Amino acid sequence: MKTVNQLEQPDQFYDELANAHKDLDLPASADLNARLVLILANQIGSQKVLSECIALALCVPESSV
Amino acid sequence: MIEENVSGYKLPRFEYRKPADFDKTVQRYPVVIVGGGLAGLTLAADLSTRGIAFVLLDEDDTVGVKGASSRGIVYAQKSLEIFDRLGIYEKIAQKGVAWSVGKSLVGQNDIIYEFDAAKSSQSLQPPFLNIQQFYIEWFLVERINELKTGEIRWKSRVIDVEAAQTHSRIKVETPDGTYWLEAEWLVDCCGLASGVREKLGLETFPEKGTERWCISDIRFKKELPLERWTWVESPVNDGRAVWQHPMADGVWRIDFQMKIDSDVEYISRPDVCEERVRKLLGHNEPFELVWVGPWASRTHLLDNFKYRRVLFAGDSAHVFPPLGARGGNSGIQDADNLGWKLALVLKGQAQETLLNTYSQERRPAAIHNMDLATRSVRFLSPQGEGQRILRNAVIALAKKCDFAQAMVNTGRLSTAFSYQDSDLSIGTGESIPNLALELKNGQKRKLVDYATDSQIMLISRSREVLQPLQNKAIFKILIIGQQEPDDILDVDEKIADALGIRDGSIVILRPDLHVLARFKEFGHAQINELMHRINYVEREE
């Protein structure tokens, strides 16, 4: 798993993702995120990397926001 | 044997005979099997083909529980290959419905995942065959009675068991009263609520889950595809899952997933079930309810499948959720694993320690089955809103994308387990399919034909390399070549490929057709290693 930046255009990616959520209520946003997670997971493919990604997502505390 | 009509089926009733044991001192038998279900009867038939004497004790005098319940209906390829070796596959094939195509659906008929297991199959048997469990048990009983190396004692209920280091003592209740008998090896195939396990104080602490299903066997004339259809979300079942499987005699198994913790009495009331079936088949379609019953989730796993000289097979040792047809199939494959090992030990060709590998191989297989069945349950019964959102995402994407289809999990059907971590295996320990073989002399053979005695098979393209072992009774030597009449022809190298020996290796196959080892070099060191692995007992031969 890589944690150093890989994104070619981080600001543009964030902007597109935020735009996708713009007119959605919370359940529709959750559905969108779930679909996106699955699509992105398939781009990664490696089970080892995916397991590490899940572990990282779980260990970042929500209160740090 | 008398046949009786139960729910439109003709079912056998077998005759109880007073055992001669009543008039003798306590008799000791090489093997006593308790329980005449799939595991017990498969083991009895297996020992019969290997010429080993046994007594099988069964509580009632027929096959199946309460007759018409179809119970396990999907038999996997490995199980069918075992039945072919035991000589009952032809009967099963004539009666049952072979299939290979499975479809998962949502809504009325939206297919979101589809597979055809025939595409990758090299076996003489189909990927799957559906048939009512009692037919399999019936054919096994007939085969056991035909081979006559052991006996089935009907109406014989085990009421006490004592396990010593060298043998077991078993107290049996019959219509004529009770008697004791002894077993060098006792095999418990009594199911989840095994009285043998209980008497020996071997607790398994079964877990009750909240999953509820209504299992129904329905007879109707409407023509539906002979495939496995599973709805993840069906409108005829309030958005819950539905299973549709064909089986013998024009009967279909339709399973309905119920709300968690539903009242099992209510969900399986015939009128309640009929209403659901009407929605599925259409209101004008006549049908007949052959059998209906509830299913509530229960699982358990025994710590060790061997205790002193008692072995545990089938549901007595392990019960998992039914998704993927792993219950009956794993009981059959337990028996397949155990039969030849018992035979070699009882014939004095292998040390008793060989039987330690039974638990060492079949317990990981049970854990694997448990894990896979549990994953299917998780897909079909999302726990909490987060999991439901995730599953909805899979279903939504599966309509468009191949990768999401791969995640639709309505039960991954059982395949043979590889005994990778066994003391017996040098390598992966996988199962080799029942290959069709042609000999130099024109005769046709099946790979299972070479596995009916308890010899370990050495297969090579070089006769010379196997020469040092040709006089040892424990081995059977098979040559792929064109010299001798019984050489196995392999012009296009498909056989060598399937056996994994195209590179000139030799392969060593166990009588259950699992790979024991492959060797590139086969000299003294490898032979010693092999003898050690199989717990070989050196004798004058």
pLDDT for B540 equals: 58
Which one of A35, A36, A43, A50 would you mutate to disrupt binding with B, by most B Cβ within 10 Å of its Cβ? A35
Residue B297 scores a pLDDT above 80: yes
Q: Return all residues near B58 (Cβ < 8 A) that are at least 6 apart.
A: B35, B36, B40, B152, B153, B154, B155, B156
Mean pLDDT of the region B116-143? 95
Instruction: Mark which of B327, B356, B377 sits at the end of a domain.
Output: B377
Q: What is the pLDDT of residue B423?
A: 94
How does residue B209 score in pLDDT terms, banded at 50, 70 and 90? confident
From the CB of residue B464, how many other CB atoms can be counted at a distance below 10 Å? 8
Same domain, B309 and B283: no
Cross-strand bridge partners of residue B291: B217
Q: Computed from CA positions of residues B521, B522, B526, B532, in that sequence, does the dihedral angle turn out positive or negative?
A: positive
Are B163 and B9 spatial neighbours (Cβ–Cβ below 8 Å)? Answer: no
B431: in domain: no
Distance (Å, rounded) from C-alpha B122 to C-alpha B124? 7
Domain coverage including residue B341 = 2-97+127-206+299-377
Kindly tell me if the per-residue pLDDT of A62 is higher than 70.
no
Question: Based on the domain organization, do B202 and B216 belong to the same domain?
Answer: no
pLDDT for B541 equals 55
Structural domains counted in chain B: 3
**What's the mean pLDDT in B267-272?**
90
Q: What is the mean pLDDT of residues B501-522?
A: 95
Spatial separation of the C-alpha atoms in residues B78 and B414, rounded to whole Å: 9
| Structural domain contains residue B540 | no
Query: Which of A27, A30, A38 is closest, CB to CB, to B397?
Result: A38
Q: Is the pLDDT of residue B300 over 60?
A: yes
pLDDT digits 0-9 by tens, B361-410: 999 999 999 999 999 999 999 999 999 999 999 999 999 999 999 999 99
Question: What mean pLDDT do residues A7-32 have?
Answer: 97
Q: How far is CA B422 from CA B193, B305, B360, in A?
A: 29, 14, 6
Q: Are B496 and B355 in a shared domain?
A: no
pLDDT above 80 for B537: yes
Q: For position B260, what pLDDT does the model report?
A: 86
d(CA B31, CA B343): 10
B395: three-class secondary structure by DSSP: helix
Domain of residue B218, CATH code: 3.30.70.2450
Whether B401 is in a domain gets the answer no
Of A32-41, B21-30, B255-264, the range with the lowest mean pLDDT is B255-264
Confidence of residue B65 (pLDDT cuts 50, 70, 90): low
- Model confidence at A54: pLDDT above 90: yes
What band does B265 get if pLDDT is binned at 50, 70 and 90?
A: confident
Query: Within a domain: residue B291?
Result: yes
Long-range contacts of B355-360 (CB under 8 A, 24+ apart): B355/B185, B355/B306, B355/B311, B356/B306, B356/B423, B357/B422, B357/B423, B357/B424, B358/B305, B358/B306, B358/B311, B359/B304, B359/B305, B359/B306, B359/B311, B360/B421, B360/B422, B360/B423
Phi-psi region of B177 (alpha: psi -120 to 50; beta: other; left: phi over 0): left
Is the domain of B153 the same as that of B28? yes
Give the model confidence (pLDDT) of B490-511 as tens digits: 999 999 999 999 999 999 999 9
**β-strands B54-57, B151-153 pairing:** parallel
- Smallest CA–CA distance from B401 into chain A, residue: A39
Tell me the pLDDT of chain B averaged across its residues: 94
Suggest the residue from B385, B389, B407 to mutate for an interface test with chain A (most A CBs closer than 10 A): B389
Query: Which pLDDT belongs to residue B264?
Result: 81
- Do residues B158 and B57 lie in contact, with contact meaning Cβ atoms separated by under 8 Å? yes
Q: What is the pLDDT of residue B114?
A: 93
Q: Can you give the CATH number for the domain in which B477 is found?
A: 3.40.30.120
b or e along A3-15 (b: 16 or more beta carbons within 10 Å of the residue's beta carbon)?
A: eeeeeeeeeeeee
For B279-303, what is the mean pLDDT? 91
Is B107 inside a domain boundary? no
A31: nearest CB among B393, B401, B407: B393
What mean pLDDT is predicted for residues B428-439? 97
In terms of domains, do B317 and B216 share one? no
Interface contact A1, partner B, CB < 8 A = no
Span B307-365, pLDDT tens digits: 999 999 999 999 998 888 899 999 999 999 999 999 999 999 999 999 999 999 999 99
Name the β-bridge partners of B157: B173
Examine the domain organization and report whether B136 and B45 are in the same domain. Answer: yes
Same domain flag for B252 and B199: no
Percent with pLDDT over 70 in chain B: 99
Residues B164 and B48 in one domain: yes
Do B398 and B407 form a contact (C-beta atoms < 8 A)? yes
Q: Are residues B306 and B252 in the same domain?
A: no
CB B196 within 8 A of CB B171: no
- Residues paired with residue B180 on neighbouring β-strands, in sequence order: B171
Summarised one tens digit per residue, pLDDT across range B148-205 is 999 999 999 999 999 999 999 999 999 999 999 999 999 999 999 999 999 999 999 8
CB contacts < 8 A, A to B, total 26
B497 is a domain residue: yes
Q: Which residues contact B15 (CB under 8 A, 6 or more apart)?
A: B1, B61, B154
pLDDT at A64 over 70: no
Q: Do B281 and B143 share a domain, yes or no?
A: no
Which has the minimum average pLDDT: B204-213, B330-339, B437-446?
Answer: B204-213
Cα B180 to chain centroid distance, Å, stands at 30
Structure ipTM: 0.94
Domain boundaries, chain A: 36-65
Mark yes or no for CB contact A30/B389 under 8 Å. Answer: yes
- Give a yes or no: residue B418 inside a domain: no
Residue B423 belongs to some domain of the structure: no
> In the Cβ-directed half-sphere of B440, how many Cα atoms lie within 13 Å?
11
Please say if the pLDDT value at position A61 is more than 80: no
Q: Which of B5-19, B275-289, B425-439 has the lowest mean pLDDT?
A: B5-19
Residues B176 and B88 in one domain: yes
Within the 20-59 window of chain A, which residues sit less than 8 Å (CB to CB) from chain B?
27, 30-31, 34-35, 37-39, 42
**What pLDDT is stored for residue B364 in this prediction?**
98
Q: Of the candidates B146, B173, B151, B156, which has an alpha carbon nearest to the alpha carbon of residue B44? A: B151
Question: Could you tell me the two tokens for B364?
Answer: 């990981």
Q: How far apart are CA B153 and CA B453, in angstroms?
A: 25
Question: Which among A30, A31, A42 is the nearest to B403, CB-wise?
Answer: A42
Q: Show which of B238, B267, B297 is a domain's final residue.
A: B297
User: Which pLDDT band holds residue B461 (cuts at 50, 70, 90)?
Assistant: very high
Dihedral sign for Cα B413, B418, B420, B422, please. Answer: positive
SS3 assignment, position B218: strand
Residue B6 pLDDT grade (very low, low, confident, very high; cuts 50, 70, 90):
confident
Residues B51 and B162 in one domain: yes
What tokens does B522 get?
């086969």
Q: How far is CA B34 from CA A49, B179, B310, in A?
A: 49, 15, 11
Mark which of B377, B409, B444 sits at the end of a domain.
B377
